[in-house]
Amino acid sequence: MKKTFCSLLALALIAAPVFSASAADAKRVLVCTVTTGFRHGSIPFAEKTLEKLGKESGAYTIVAFLQQPDIMVPKAPGKPKALAADADANAQKRFANDMKKYDEAMTKWTPEAQAEAKEAQAKFDVAVKKALEPLSPANLAAEKIDGVIFANTTGDLPLPDKDGFIKWIEEGHSFMAMHSGSDTLHGYRPYSDMLQGEFETHHAQVPADLVAGDISHPANGGIGATWQLAQEEMYHIKTQDRSKVRSLWYMRHDPNVVETKVYFPVSWCRIDGKGKVFYTSLGHREDLWSDSPELKDRKNSVEVSKQYQAHILGGIKWALGLVEGSSTPNPEVE
- Per-residue pLDDT tens, the chain, 334 aa: give them: 434 434 433 443 333 333 334 456 899 999 999 999 999 999 999 999 999 999 999 999 999 999 999 999 999 999 999 999 999 999 999 999 999 999 999 999 999 999 999 999 999 999 999 999 999 999 999 999 999 999 999 999 999 999 999 999 999 999 999 999 999 999 999 999 999 999 999 999 999 999 999 999 999 999 999 999 999 999 999 999 999 999 999 999 999 887 788 999 999 999 999 999 999 999 999 999 999 999 999 999 999 999 999 999 999 999 999 999 999 999 999 8
The answer to whether the CB of 213 falls within 8 A of the CB of 333 is: yes
Tell me which residue of 282, 318, 14, 23 sits closest to 147, measured CA to CA.
318
Give residue 323's pLDDT: 97
Give residue 23's pLDDT: 56
Phi, psi of 57 (to 5 degrees): -85, -25
3-state secondary structure the chain: CHHHHHHHHHHHHHHCCCCCCCCCCCEEEEEECCECCCCCCCHHHHHHHHHHHHHHHCCEEEEEEECCCCCCCCCCCCCCCCCCCCCCHHHHHHHHHHHHHHHHHHHHCCHHHHHHHHHHHHHHHHHHHHHCHHHCHHHHHHCCCCEEEEECCEECCCCCCHHHHHHHHHCCCEEEEEHHHHCECCCCHHHHHHHCCEEEEECCCEEEEEEECCCCCHHHCCCCCEEEEEEECCEEEECCCHHHCEEEEEEEEECCEEEEEEEEEEEEEEEECCEEEEEECCCCCHHHHCCCCCCCCCCCCHHHHHHHHHHHHHHHHHHCCCCCCCCCCCCCCC
Tell me which residue of 173, 172, 169 sits closest to 191, measured CA to CA.
169
Q: Tens digits of per-residue pLDDT, 128-158? A: 999 999 999 999 999 999 999 999 999 999 9
d(CA 317, CA 25): 13
List the domain boundaries for the chain. 2-15+27-73+143-319
Give residue 256's pLDDT: 86
Tell me which residue of 222, 221, 325 sits closest to 276, measured CA to CA.
325
Query: Helix 43-57 to helix 302-319 angle, to the nearest 10 degrees?
Result: 70
Give residue 233's pLDDT: 97
Tell me which residue of 54, 52, 51 sits closest to 21, measured CA to CA.
54
At the fourth CATH level, the homologous superfamily of domain 2-15+27-73+143-319 is Class I glutamine amidotransferase (GATase) domain (3.40.50.880)
The answer to whether the CB of 325 falls within 8 A of the CB of 238 is: no
Burial of 9 (0-12, 13-18, 19+ CB in 10 A): exposed
Phi, psi of 166 (to 5 degrees): -65, -40
Measured CA angle at 227 (ends 226, 228), to 5 deg: 125
Burial of 251 (0-12, 13-18, 19+ CB in 10 A): middle
Give residue 24's pLDDT: 63
Tell me which residue of 305, 288, 316 sits closest to 18, measured CA to CA.
316
d(CA 105, CA 126): 28
| pTM for the full predicted model | 0.89
